[in-house]
Structure 1
Amino acid sequence: IKAAEKGETTQDAQQLSRKLTRYSRTLPPLMAGMKISQKAAAAGFEWENIEGVWAKFHEELAEFEEALQQEDEAHQQAELGDLLFTVINLARWYDLDPSEALQGTNQRFIQRLKKMEAFADRPLSDYTLDELETLWQQAKAQLAASGELNQER
């Protein structure tokens, strides 16, 4: 009935690619990637073991590094996307939520930056990279010691 309402045949509505396209259009990219990965795996498009996923990760990383040596931004973007999708697959295999993981990293980064600013006696842009690294490590250590930092980066 739903397929008919959308002008689709029942066969069209059952195509995996149509379902996956809906996820990519309606969900944030990391969530869509996870849902697409899950549905593809459930349909049998899956590695035999985690070693296969790791091999794919290393392959995609090498392809991304190679693409960065070229001046074709579209190719670089495509290879970055492939690498990110493979990381999503690793997360799925380890039963981790990539959106939650990235959100946590974003929060930890902001916490550390806030501490760095508290330690700084001038704008951060006035510091050298080495000085910023020192402030970063100092902020990281203080947050870890105070228990404010949930996970190390």
Structure 2
Amino acid sequence: MSTTNTAFERLVKIMDELREQCPWDKKQTIQTLRPLTIEETYELADAITDSDWKGIKEELGDLFLHLLFYSRIGREQGQFTLDEVLNGISDKLIARHPHIYGSTAADPNLVEVKTEEDVKRNWEQLKLKEGKKSVLSGVPVSLPATVKATRLQEKAGKVGFEWDETAQVWEKVQEEMAELQEAVAEGDQNKIEEEFGDLSFSLINYARFLHIDAENALERTNKKFIARFTRMEEEARSRGRSLADMTLAEMDAMWDNIKKSTKQD
């Protein structure tokens, strides 16, 4: 038996023992685990954004535990077993990769692919053949809006609903920006929000064409802002001052100095 199998079976055994013996683990349900799983997923996302490999390894372990927890509860409820979960994803992967595994019941014709985009298009077509009514189905309702917009655009693009060139996307961004400015001039708050949403959607699409993860890009900016702002607070304290007591011009000057120094780091 491989070391991977041994490690996996060890974790399964520990999960079973915790579920049977630990007062906290005994009481958990899929509903009580849900917010914890979301938190663990975001912690993994944070580690990925920071390229923190030690953190990634730790958070992957936490998620593995959650997956086994749900599988254990599913077995207790008579809904499914861990083996069914694992075999289910294996069967799905084989069925959706006929270019690797040959013709399948889902797609009797061997599909030839040459690029990553060919693989993605075939994936979406196979999902439709499995009974999906829309290429947009499968995008979780509760996804953060930035991530959801990216996924919706990616899926629509697989059937050809996509700009041909990056320049066309930028033109759309400029068009939406002008419409937002018009709405601001009119003072219609509902219209302003709508146009701001359209502009954000277009910018996310532009990020895709630049091969940028819009969510990750924004999170990097969030982290950069936090680092610079907290440094500004520390510098103000070192001067015996508080940001609340400083003028905007003083804070701007301090911000610019911090920005220059951090870019040199």
TM-score range, shorter chain: 0.7 to 0.9
Find the residue that maps to 1:26 and give its secondary structure: coil
TM-score relative to the length of structure 2: 0.47
Alignment of 1:87 onto 2:181: no
1:24 and 1:33 in contact (8 A); partners too: no
Structure 1 pair 76/12, CA: closer, same or farther in 2 (3 Å)? farther
Deviation at 1:72, TM superposition (A): 1.7
Give the one of 75, 82, 102 matched to 2:218.
102
- Structure 1 residue 31, shift from structure 2 partner: 0.6
Tell me the residue number matched to 1:13.
132
CA RMSD of aligned residues (A): 1.9
Instruction: Please tell me whether Structure 1 or Structure 2 has the larger radius of gyration of its CA atoms.
Output: 2
Larger relative contact order (C-alpha < 8 A, sep ≥ 6)?
1
> Equivalents in 2 of 1:24, 1:124: separation in Å?
41
Extract unaligned runs of 5+ from structure 2.
1-128
User: Counterpart in 1 of 2:147?
Assistant: 31
Deviation, 1:58, is 0.3
Map residues 41-120 of structure 1 onto 2, 5 A cutoff: 41-120=157-236
Q: CA offset at residue 125 of structure 1?
A: 2.2
- Number of residue pairs aligned between Structure 1 and Structure 2: 134
Aligned partners of 1:66, 1:24: CA distance in 2, in Å? 33
Unaligned runs of 5+ in 1: 1-9, 148-153
The AA in structure 2 aligned to 1:73 is: Q
Match of 1:128 among 244, 247, 254: 247
Q: Which amino acid aligns with 1:70?
A: E
User: In structure 1, how many angstroms separate the alpha carbons of the residues matched to 2:157 and 2:247?
Assistant: 47
The alignment's TM-score, normalised by the length of structure 1, stands at 0.80
